[in-house]
Amino acid sequence: MAAMRPSRSFWIAFALLNALLLSLLFALWQFRAERAELALLDELGAALYPEPIPLAQVELTDHRSQPFELERMRDTWSLVFFGFSNCPDMCPATLAQLERFYRDYRDEPALAQPPVQVLFVSVDPADTPEIIAEYLGGFHADFVGLAGSVDAVHGFAGQLFVNTGMAGHGGHAAPHASPDGFISHSVHIGVINPAGELAGLLRPPHRAASIAQALEMIFQRT
């Protein structure tokens, strides 16, 4: 008795089943790779939003007494850190790590490397543009310092989920010209993409190497 040959419909069904299995395996591989990448970002102290969060208009003044609005955060990645000039510990330590990251980043080959700017926003109403300019003189010349009214600074801080206020600051003396109390503020760094959207956050402790590695992964994912 002659053996029956598989019909054309059988081979079509077989091919479709194979394609489905390959698709499932690829999806599983992608899922595992995604989880591994997110776990590494978490280890580096980085969190990336599934969808970037658009920012509302910003009305601040830079350390050169020039207006600073949302438009100046477009077409470049922005690392935003809130602090104040009289901060005795976390602010200078974080800015030092940002400077180390930035110098290394600037020394890398520019090919396909997206531009990055570092923004320091003062939460102390006593920090004038002149005071901020003097303070940032101890760090990189490219850093941009920002000041503004209490409402303007707090409004921008709120968009980046930064808490600001007059509270205890590690038992240190009150910042200059801040008679209402000590200054407390969040110390994470906001990562804003070239579209002017909050893409993610970098949490402390901040290290230049971790910032560089996390940003490289964030750039590749967006």
Q: How confident is the model at residue 164 (pLDDT cuts 50, 70, 90)?
A: confident
220 confidence band (pLDDT: 50, 70, 90):
confident
At 31 the pLDDT is: 47
Nearest CA among 94, 149, 95 for reference residue 126: 149
* pLDDT score for 77: 97
**Which amino acid, one-letter code, is at 125?**
P
pLDDT digits (tens, 9 = 90+) for 55-80: 999 999 999 999 999 999 999 999 99
Residue 169 — pLDDT band, cuts 50, 70, 90?
A: very low
The pLDDT assigned to 174 comes to: 41
pLDDT of residue 34: 58
Under the banding of pLDDT at 50, 70 and 90, the label for residue 37 is low
Location of structure tokens 């776990």: 39
- Predicted local confidence at residue 185, as pLDDT: 65
Quickly list H helices, 44-177: 90-107, 129-136, 150-159
Q: Which pLDDT score is estimated for 40?
A: 73
> Is the Cβ–Cβ distance between 77 and 193 less than 8 Å?
yes
| Rounded CA separation 200/77 (Å) | 11
- The band of 30, judged by pLDDT with boundaries at 50, 70 and 90, is low
Q: What is the pLDDT of residue 210?
A: 93
Decide if pLDDT at 177 tops 50: no
Q: What is the mean pLDDT of the chain?
A: 82
